[in-house]
Amino acid sequence: MSISINRRHFLMTSLAAATIGKSRFSRADNSSPSLITPTLNDYLTAQISASALKTNIELIRRELKPTTKLCFVAKSNCYAHGWLQCQDAIKPFADWVAVATPAEALAIRHSGWQRPILLLMASGLTGIISNERLRRLIARDVTLTLADPNDLPVIAAAARAAGRPAQLHLKIDSGMTRSGVMPDKAPALMQQARQQTDVALTGVYTHFAAADEKDKSSAYKQLACFMAAIQASGKNAEGLLRHAAASAATIDLPESHFDMVRVGTAIYGHQPSDEMLRTLPLRGVMRLVSRLTQVKEVPAGRRVSYGQTYGFEKPAKIGLVPIGYSDGYCRAFSNRAMMKVGEQYVPVRGRVCMDQTIVELTGLPDVKVGDAIEIVSPDAAAPNSIENLARLANTITPDIMVGFGSSRIQRVTTT
């Protein structure tokens, strides 16, 4: 009975995960209405530019040799841009797709993507649910990451249950000190995988810790370590798809391209960091817009939002924007960020709330409820760009991007 219940739970959660990127969500049961539909959350919309996405992929392609494959990193629902909004634009260019979780892999395969999918997550979890998950991934031809010798028998058992060999890429920890087998253990694990009849080792990869920094010494050290581990593996490494470069290394370290590069941040239109040796003329892909839900006048001396951290010295006009930290608009933007109404930038006043943010509209007499407001601009030089918001929050652009993955934000494709 417990096996049946666990399996049913797994299948239900996997099916729910397959709605990745969709603007409509199925009802949880017959009595509960859909929580999010386009007609209910059209006041908060992420506009995803297909032309900008295409431009960025073409720019990346020009950095590569014709024989080098491009892996489109679709983690976190394409960095919150939405798989369904991105897939048509990337189809002519992407050879592979990389994801972080099993649910993402199965959802993308379910969407009709027929090319290879790489699951970056290590595959060593055990138990009924984990074994069933692995079996389904193998059955759907998802390439798994082999990161530890103990994972190999687990994957092999799932492959036998699936009735087909598991496709594997061996990950080497060349210095990131995160997932992956230690370099001195890599040759032995590679040999074990080659000898295991229930798996097919088809690739080997690593990940840089500091390729986006001006000082590339750490990246070069990792690169040398990776190459040494491959060389030490001898014939067992022959014919494997080798990959190491993410966005930063793809742009700054062409010697790390090998047989494939894995690009996320740059394809979505953002430089990997402010320390890059080279920059590409990338175009921001996401524009986040909303509408004012209330506009009102407030008297001089009135203070704003939680903690009353901002006060008006003169009579002022304010507007409410239906976005807050629950939607990824960070509390760090309080009293610091800007939005845009028409051609006028307006400042955020007071603390960002969970679901609402207050902006000052003083000097804009014609602004009214329902008027459009641009929360995030795709222009990197704009005060309300992803880049500037990242600086305000003392973080990186992917952190800001994925924050806007809230299901309360509707995603639409634009030209």
- How far apart (Å, rounded) are the C-alpha atoms in residues 310 and 314? 12
**C-alpha 315: how far from chain center:** 43
Read off the amino acid at residue 319: G
Catalytically annotated residue among 91, 214, 296, 306: 306
Active-site annotation holder among 22, 75, 185, 221: 75
**Angstrom distance (rounded) from CA 406 to CA 325:** 10
Tokens of 225: 């370590």
Structure tokens at 256: 């790390």
Examine the residue annotation and report whether 329 is marked as an active-site residue of this protein: no
Give Dmax over CA atoms of the chain in angstroms.
78
Q: Is 310 a catalytic residue?
A: no
Q: Are the CB atoms for 282 and 271 separated by under 8 Å? A: yes
Residue position matching structure tokens 């687990």: 154
Q: What angle do CA 391, 393, 396 make, to 5 degrees?
A: 60
Give the tokens for residue 115: 């090319």
Please give the Cα distance from 360 to 345 (Å, whole number).
10
Q: Report how far residue 386's alpha carbon sits from residue 383's, in angstroms, rounded to the nearest whole number.
A: 9
Whether the CB-CB separation of 62 and 81 falls below 8 Å is answered with no
Strand partners, 72: 97, 263
Judge whether 336 and 322 are in contact, CB under 8 Å.
no
The tokens of 36 are what? 């999010």
Residue 48 near residue 411, CB atoms below 8 Å = yes
Phi and psi for 151 in degrees, rounded to 5? -80, -25
- Residue 68 CA, chain-centre distance (Å), reads 22
Burial of 346 (0-12, 13-18, 19+ CB in 10 A): buried
The answer for residues whose C-beta is within 8 angstroms of residue 386's C-beta and 6 or more apart is: 270, 284, 286, 376, 380, 397, 400, 401
Q: Mind telling me the catalytic residues? A: 75, 306
